[in-house]
């Protein structure tokens, strides 16, 4: 089976992990500080604050914006559940704006239409490795005096007009095991606002600036030095790994360009895609259904996945939730029926890519 994602850590990660173990400082310490400095440089921001996972990053980013009961956060209905859970955990109400099919990200026009008197934060999701249209969304937030939190869990290193995703407002990142850069579990918050960065560092450490000097009601959101040691070597290699993913995406697109009923992902003008996922749409014009394609790919030894099978609020636990406002999202409703992601990771060989292309063509009947 060709897996849809692979985790491989090199000898430098092992060396740094052993260094941490032998140092006796295995909780948050100098290795976390080093990861933060190098991560901030990669994104192109002044500050990066490490936390224990990507969901925490979202929650903490919302918490430092001082949301009050009844305040609304507008986000995408086509996302992982962490986006919605974070809004609810921060005490806010979630609203949704439909997506665009060409980038799978929130549609700025729909976002503008959803802004109301209770709106306090816009939360675009940079999905699959391609960022949302921040050249339009960031000015929209500024015009209405709204907070801006970027869910950049899948798009580390992506850019909009040369500017890094996660640098327009408070950027939130996941370092989960399947991400392009991983510490197993972990997250990061990025910002150019020194005051917000300071508040985040206090918040993640039980509200302490110094030991037993409590300034706010805080939490334990800390990352460990052991986890940071795994991520640091990947930063130096990140550019090369993303280039390999781009090359792999190009080979897939070239091999699948003429498959009937299959809509391929593209890197839109002015934006760079880091190809966390290569997601196609099996449209209604295809001779077979999306689920049949998945069954045939699995049988042929090609891993694939549905990210995501429903709109994020289309589950019993959210359907009647008083702080989840599910506005119509017709584009998302169509995409969740048609989407399937194929292997694109940087560990694929040329032979693997040929096999993926051949399997997809046979599965669709091309």
Q: What is the domain-level CATH number for residue 277?
A: 3.90.1150.10
The arithmetic mean of pLDDT across residues 345-355, rounded, is 98
Residues 312, 224: one domain? no
332: in domain: yes
How many beta carbons lie within 10 A of that of residue 105, not counting itself? 27
The whole-number pLDDT of residue 338 equals 98
| 147-202 pLDDT, tens digit each | 999 999 999 999 999 999 999 999 999 999 999 999 999 999 999 999 999 999 99
Give the C-alpha separation, 23 to 164, whole Å: 34
Q: Are 218 and 279 contained in the same domain?
A: no
- How far is the CA of 285 from the CAs of 166, 248, 290, in angstroms? 37, 26, 11
Domain annotation covers residue 259: yes
Residues 268 and 216 in one domain: no
Per the structure, the complete domain to which residue 295 belongs is given by: 239-364
Q: Which helix (H) or strand (E) holds 151?
A: strand 147-151
- End of a domain among 177, 210, 232? 232
Q: Which residue has the tokens 């960031």?
A: 138
Rounded to an integer, the average pLDDT of 258-283 is 98
Average of per-residue pLDDT across 332-343: 98
End-to-end CA distance of the chain: give it in Å, rounded.
Answer: 22
Question: Is position 357 within any domain?
Answer: yes
pLDDT digits (tens, 9 = 90+) for 4-55: 999 999 999 999 999 999 999 999 999 999 999 999 999 999 999 999 999 9
pLDDT (0 to 100) of residue 258: 96
Distance in angstroms (rounded) separating the CA atoms of residues 354 and 325: 44
CA distance 37 to 40: 5
Give the integer Cα–Cα distance in Å for 175 and 347.
Answer: 18
Query: Of 232, 261, 283, at which residue does a domain stop?
Result: 232
Question: Is 1 within a domain?
Answer: no
Q: What is the DSSP string of 319-360?
A: HT-TTB-----HHHHHHHHHEEEE---TT--HHHHHHHHHHH
Report the predicted TM-score, pTM, of the whole model to 2 decimal places.
0.98
Statement to judge: residues 225 and 255 lie in one domain: no
Averaged pLDDT, 72-81 = 98
Please say whether the beta carbons of 277 and 307 come within 8 A: yes
Active site amino acids: 179
**Which region, left, alpha or beta, applies to residue 308 given φ > 0 means left and ψ of -120 to 50 means alpha?**
beta
Are both 72 and 213 inside the same structural domain? yes
Number of domains present in the structure of the chain: 2
Mean pLDDT for the chain overall = 98
pLDDT, tens digit (0-9, with 9 covering 90-100), for 295-324: 999 999 999 999 999 999 999 999 999 999
pLDDT value, residue 366:
75
Cβ–Cβ < 8 Å for 316, 291: no
What pLDDT does 275 receive?
Answer: 98
Instruction: Residue 98: give its domain's CATH number.
Output: 3.40.640.10
Question: Largest Cα–Cα distance of the chain, in whole Å?
Answer: 66
Domain boundary among 206, 232, 258: 232
Q: Exposed (0-12), middle (13-18) or buried (19+): which is 66, by Cβ within 10 Å?
A: exposed
CB 218 within 8 A of CB 202: yes
């Amino acid at each position: 089976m060709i897996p849809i994602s692979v985790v491989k850590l090199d000898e430098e990660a092992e060396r740094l992990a052993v260094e941490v173990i032998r140092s006796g400082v295995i909780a948050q310490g100098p290795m976390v500080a080093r990861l933060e400095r190098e991560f901030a440089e990669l994104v192109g921001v002044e500050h990066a604050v490490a936390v224990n996972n990507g969901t925490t990053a979202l929650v903490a980013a919302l918490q430092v914006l001082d949301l009050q009961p009844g305040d609304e956060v507008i986000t995408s209905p086509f996302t992982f559940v962490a986006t919605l859970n974070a809004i609810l955990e921060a005490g806010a109400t979630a609203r949704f704006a439909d997506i665009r099919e060409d980038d799978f990200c929130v549609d700025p026009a729909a976002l503008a239409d959803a802004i109301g008197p209770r709106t306090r934060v816009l939360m675009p999701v940079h999905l699959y490795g391609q960022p949302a249209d921040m050249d339009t969304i960031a000015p929209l937030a500024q015009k209405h005096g709204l907070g801006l939190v970027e869910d950049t869990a899948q798009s580390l290193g992506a850019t909009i007009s040369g500017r890094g995703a996660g640098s327009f407002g408070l950027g939130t990142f996941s370092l989960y095991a399947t991400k392009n850069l991983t510490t197993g579990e972990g997250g990061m918050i990025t910002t150019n606002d020194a005051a917000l960065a300071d508040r985040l560092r206090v918040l993640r450490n039980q509200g302490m600036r110094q030991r037993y000097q409590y300034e706010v009601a805080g939490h334990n959101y800390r990352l460990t030095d052991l986890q940071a040691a795994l991520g640091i070597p990947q930063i130096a290699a990140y550019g090369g790994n993303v280039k390999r993913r781009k090359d792999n995406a190009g080979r897939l697109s070239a091999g699948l360009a003429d498959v009937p009923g299959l809509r391929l992902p593209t890197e839109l003008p002015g934006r760079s895609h880091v190809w966390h996922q290569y997601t196609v749409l099996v449209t209604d014009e295809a001779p077979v259904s999306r689920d049949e394609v998945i069954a045939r790919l699995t049988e042929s030894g090609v891993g694939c996945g549905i990210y995501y099978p429903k709109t994020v609020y289309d589950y019993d636990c959210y359907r009647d939730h008083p702080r989840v406002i599910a506005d119509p999202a017709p584009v998302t409703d169509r995409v969740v029926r048609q989407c399937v992601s194929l292997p694109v990771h940087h560990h694929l060989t040329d032979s693997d890519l040929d096999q993926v292309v051949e399997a997809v063509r046979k599965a669709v009947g091309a």
